[in-house]
Amino acid sequence: MSKAYETIEYPATGETYSHDEFGVYRYSTYPRGSVLEGQEKRSALGTYPTLAEAQATHPDARWEGDGASGYREIPIPHTPPEDFDPEIAGEVWDDTDY
């Protein structure tokens, strides 16, 4: 993913919620050094009772349509990035299944 962008999705849906409201989300990429480095990042910016309110508050967000949710479970990698240094991170990378 190259450039961050915003969407309006209905219903507002995430891993632990689903609301009959219009959710606004920012899509970007996890930064270098993150455990999820390079993967898609989805950040909730707010929910609104109407599409008009969501569009007025976030005029650059694109409307995805009813039933469109960009939520996806993000897989956590089992191996660290090449530049991972446990000394710098202050923790080790563990391949244990929880």
For residue 40, is it within any domain? yes
Total domains in the fold of the chain: 1
pLDDT of residue 98: 41
For residue 98, is it within any domain? no
For residue 79, is it within any domain? yes
The pTM score is 0.71
pLDDT of residue 2: 60
Q: For residue 60, how far is the Cα from the chain centroid?
A: 17
Total Cβ atoms within 10 A of residue 52: 10
- The 10s digit of each residue's pLDDT in 47-58 is 999 999 999 999
Give me the domain span that covers residue 59.
Answer: 5-89
- The 10s digit of each residue's pLDDT in 53-86 is 999 999 999 998 887 777 777 666 777 777 777 7
Total Cβ atoms within 10 A of residue 27: 15
More confident residue, 17 or 88: 17
For residue 95, is it within any domain? no
Paired tokens of 91: 């923790």
Tokens 């190259």 belong to which residue? Answer: 2
